[in-house]
Amino acid sequence: MISREDYFERVMVLGQYCYLERAKEVVYLVMSCLKEVIPEKAVQDLEKALPEPVRGLLKEALLNDNHGEDEIDCITLVKQRGNFPYRAAAERTFEVVFASIREITDEQSRERIKALLPPSVQTIFDRAKSCAIDGSAEDFL
């Protein structure tokens, strides 16, 4: 099992962040926004599907149920709460976190996790394999 510090260091590398603190911020940002838009039962199932340390990070992520109806899309939530100037920057944040998850899960777990994600980020989860070392390198050879 990967330690939290090693996990955050990997997120830092994947996201090309200069500071470990930024890696931690984006992971918690993505996890809290997912908790907000996914039904409670699906959050519980997602916790079971995620490996440690990500499972613990999802459990610890704060639930900030303070959004208007127009903000229900989790990419929009990340964009606004992360103060990103563009939607693409919020999508890239999801891609980095998802790539880090892909690297520490097997294909069966990845499929379970993807099925529990909101439809708006499922394609990002798939796209994240292009920057993750998850055994999918053969897709690009």
Residue whose structure tokens are 């962040």: 17
- Tell me the pTM: 0.86
Whether residue 140 has pLDDT greater than 50: no
Whether residue 75 has pLDDT greater than 70: yes
Q: Where are the domains of the chain?
A: 4-134
pLDDT in tens, 94-139: 999 999 999 999 999 999 999 999 999 999 999 998 776 654 444 4
How far apart CA 1 and CA 8 sit, in angstroms, is 14
What's 4-134's CATH class? mainly alpha
pLDDT in tens, 10-56: 999 999 999 999 999 999 999 999 988 888 899 999 999 998 888 88
- Whether the Cβ atoms of residue 7 and residue 15 lie closer than 8 Å to each other: no
